[in-house]
Amino acid sequence: MDYYSGYITKLIEELAKLPGVGPKTAGRLGFHILEMSEEDVEDLANAIVDAKKNIKYCKHCYTLTDSDVCPICSSKDRDHKTIMVVESTKDMSAYESVGEYKGVYHVLHGVINPMAGITQNDIKLKELFERLKDDVDEIIIATNSSVEGEATAMYISKVVKPLGIKVTRIASGVPVGGDLECIDNVTLLRALQGRTTI
Amino acid sequence: MDYYSGYITKLIEELAKLPGVGPKTAGRLGFHILEMSEEDVEDLANAIVDAKKNIKYCKHCYTLTDSDVCPICSSKDRDHKTIMVVESTKDMSAYESVGEYKGVYHVLHGVINPMAGITQNDIKLKELFERLKDDVDEIIIATNSSVEGEATAMYISKVVKPLGIKVTRIASGVPVGGDLECIDNVTLLRALQGRTTI
């Protein structure tokens, strides 16, 4: 039985479609929205619609942005000869929040995943290779260390290396603060293989 | 630095205002919304605005609904002589999802909380007492077992009992499946005091 009302039920159903939001969380969020001022509710709804409507790819790095060229690609303070290849805009923002990286990015919007039918043509790979015609010193591959992320890294490396451009991969290993006994075997092996002299 | 774009940042900021949604979750939700179809995004935004705009109190039980009288109050299958008093529409829906309760509800929209400046006049108490003029057999008080919930229960009981109406309180005790050693002392004491013969 619909013991709320059509509108509340619809709201909770829509919220429950979001990732990581179950029916209980959706209920909590829904009732919070009903308690918000009408103005705040309008702001939230407009933010959702506006973001979707106004978003496009940066024509250089293909990150999601609202102008033709994203703030990073249009910045003169960045090193445009170093390109970090990431899977998503979210991953790019993770590295940006560190604040140390001064190069630019290339967002693939996915990884090669034959099982899911995603080939090299379905992600922004030819757009990456296109950028290599400009003066590029180094490609840093920062795809996730999943099987697909590794395969994509290998593929990029195979194409880019013959062009005489340095290709590097971010390090795999034990996370800082990680407890050795809680870490999986593959990561432990990677950490050993990637050991550095101190 | 705003490394996304104004619209994405605005969206993530708005989402991060929701309860239990931190900046990371807001980012995940935000990018999920950007990946949704334009139609689904419109549906979500409309559900938010419509719910806020069309919601009102049921004129009997004061639950949030979209008609003058909520589905429960307008149902002939419910026992209108038994009123369960709850703090919020959410609490009402928690009991409705059990499916066993056949009476009606009264939603207080809060509890008496002098520390926060909420008196008996700020919640739907006089509306409850107004309903007692009709034929009522029992008031079941199902406010939370917080200090404020208990105080509100006591207050209702004091007003209603002299009218010759039965007033009951839902049981406090060990939750089903609960582990005794993990349960706080007050709950253990309540469970002991409320013991029943088997």
Measuring CA to CA, how many Å separate B85 from each of A41, A55, B79, B195?
Answer: 29, 48, 14, 24
Out of A11, A38, A51, whose CB is closest to B10? A51
User: What residue type is assigned to position A177 of the chain?
Assistant: G
Contact A50 B7 (CB under 8 A): yes
CA angle B159, B164, B169 (to 5 degrees): 60
Query: Within 10 Å of residue B89's Cβ, how many Cβ atoms?
Result: 29
Distance CA A92, CA B27 (A): 12
* Nearest-CA distance A154 → chain B (Å): 27
Hey, what are A175's tokens? 């996370």
| Cα of A25 to nearest chain B Cα, Å | 9
Q: pLDDT tens, A52-108? A: 988 889 999 999 888 889 989 999 999 999 999 999 988 888 888 888 899 999 999
Closest chain A CA to residue B73: A3
Question: Angle, nearest 10°, between helix axes A38-54 and B6-16?
Answer: 140
Q: How many CB atoms lie within 10 A of CB B188?
A: 14
Task: Give one word for B63, left, alpha or beta, with left for phi > 0 and alpha for psi -120 to 50.
Answer: beta
Among partner residues B3, B20, B41, which is closest to A93 by beta-carbon distance? B3
- Residue B83, helix vs strand vs coil: strand
Distance CA B3, CA A75 (A): 11
Instruction: Identify the pLDDT of residue B2.
Output: 60
- Would you call B67 and A5 a contact, using CB atoms and an 8 Å cutoff? yes
Among A161, A97, A19, A143, which Cα is nearest to B28's? A19
At A84, give phi and psi (nearest 5°).
-95, 125
Q: Min CA distance, A29 vs chain B (Å)? A: 7
The predicted model gives B36-63 an average pLDDT of 91
At residue B186, the pLDDT reads 83
| Chain A residue with minimum CA distance to B66 | A5
Nearest CA in chain B to A71: B3
Is residue B134 scored above 90 in pLDDT?
A: no
In this prediction, residue B95 has a pLDDT band, given cuts at 50, 70 and 90, of confident
For residue A105, give the chain B residue with the closest CA: B3
Between B170 and A174, where is the model more confident?
A: B170
- Cβ-Cβ contacts under 8 Å for B188 (sequence gap 6 or more): B174, B180
Environment class of A2 (CB within 10 Å of its CB; exposed 0-12, middle 13-18, buried 19+):
exposed
Average pLDDT over residues B75-93: 92
DSSP A177: T
Closest-approach residue (CA) in chain A for B25? A20
Beta-strand relationship, A166-169 and A79-86: unpaired
* A19: chain B residues, CB-CB within 8 Å: 28-29, 32
pLDDT, mean of residues A24-28: 89
Determine the pLDDT at residue A125: 93
- What's the half-sphere exposure (Cβ side, CA atoms, 13 Å) at B28? 8
Which of B2, B9, B11, B37 is the best mutation test for A, with the most CBs of A within 10 A?
A: B11
- Residue A2: band (very low, low, confident or very high) from pLDDT cuts 50, 70, 90: low
Q: Note the pLDDT of residue A46.
A: 93
Contacts with B19 from chain A: Cβ below 8 Å: 28-29, 32
Coil/strand/helix, residue A8: helix
Whether residue A7 is predicted with pLDDT greater than 90 in this model: the reply is no
Residue of B nearest to A31 (CA): B90
Q: pLDDT tens, A151-184?
A: 999 999 999 999 999 999 998 888 888 788 888 8
pLDDT at residue A3 in the model:
62
Q: For the residues B172-187, what does the mean pLDDT come to?
A: 83
**Partner-chain contact B55 A7, CB within 8 Å:** yes
Are B29 and A17 an interchain contact pair (Cβ–Cβ within 8 Å)? Answer: no
The pLDDT assigned to B173 comes to 85
pLDDT value of position B77: 92
Residue B155's pLDDT band (boundaries 50, 70, 90)?
A: very high
**Within chain B, where are the H helices?**
6-16, 23-35, 38-54, 89-98, 125-131, 147-160, 185-193
Burial tier of B85 (Cβ tally within 10 Å: 0-12, 13-18, 19+): buried
Q: How confident is the model at residue A6 (pLDDT cuts 50, 70, 90)?
A: confident
Own/partner long-range contacts of A55-59 (Cβ < 8 Å, ≥24 apart): A55/B5, A55/B7, A55/B8, A55/B34
CA-wise closest residue to B43 among A18, A4, A62: A18
Give the angle B181-B187-B193 at the CA atoms, nearest 5°: 115
Pure H helices in B55-104: 89-98
Beta pairing partners, A64: A57
Residue B69 · residue B60 · CB < 8 Å: yes
A56 vs B contacts (CB less than 8 Å)? none
Evaluate if residue B80 carries a pLDDT over 70: yes
The helix/strand/coil state of B122 is coil
Q: Is residue A1 scored above 60 in pLDDT?
A: no
Q: Are strands B166-169 and B138-141 parallel, antiparallel or unpaired?
A: parallel
8 Å CB contact between B41 and B32: no
3-class DSSP assignment, residue A103: strand
Q: Indicate the average pLDDT of chain B.
A: 89
The residue whose two tokens read 């550095």 is A196
Contact list, A15 vs chain B (CB under 8 Å): 44, 47
Residue B1, pLDDT > 50, answer no
Q: Which of A5, A14, A51 sits opposite B8 (nearest CB)?
A: A51
Q: With an 8 Å Cβ cutoff, are B66 and A6 in contact?
A: yes
- B7, A43: Cβ pair inside 8 Å? no
